[in-house]
């Protein structure tokens, strides 16, 4: 089955609002504000709009499977735990803000 990975969006009342087929196998995800931050076993970090499910930026390649994701309280950084035990810290926003 080629389309076995998909992201579905439902309302609080259970109404299906949309879906998006994914090329990667999701290993962890985090919903922050109006975005979904996802990590995959193929090593990609993706940020999607919560309401349209469209990619907000091109996926970032981490080169190793992602095991966990967390976003700081101020939404300024994304913490990415990789398979080899490394912790990658990704700054969010414009370079002057990071």
19-73 pLDDT, tens digit per residue, is 999 999 999 999 998 999 999 999 999 999 999 999 999 999 999 999 999 999 9
State pTM to two decimals: 0.85
Check residues 96 and 59 and name the one with the higher pLDDT: 59
Band the pLDDT of 6: cuts 50, 70, 90: very high
Q: How far apart are CA 27 and CA 24, in angstroms?
A: 9
pLDDT of residue 94 exceeding 90, the answer is: no
**DSSP letter for each residue of 54-91:** -BSSPPEE-SS-EEEEEE-TTS-EEEEEETTS-EEEEE
List, in order, residues 6 or more apart from 21 with CB less than 8 Å away.
3, 5, 6
Mean pLDDT across 77-84: 96
Provide the pLDDT for residue 1: 47
Please check whether the domain covering 6-91 is classified as CATH 2.40.10.360: yes
């Amino acid at each position: 089955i080629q389309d076995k990975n998909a992201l579905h969006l439902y309302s609080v009342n259970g109404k299906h609002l949309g879906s998006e087929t994914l090329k990667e196998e999701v290993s962890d995800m985090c919903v922050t504000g109006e975005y979904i931050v996802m990590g995959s076993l193929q090593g990609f970090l993706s940020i999607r709009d919560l309401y349209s499910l469209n990619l907000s930026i091109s996926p970032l390649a981490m080169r190793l499977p992602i095991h966990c994701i967390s976003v700081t309280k101020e939404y300024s950084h994304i913490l990415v735990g990789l398979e080899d035990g490394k912790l990658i810290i990704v700054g969010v926003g414009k370079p002057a803000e990071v």
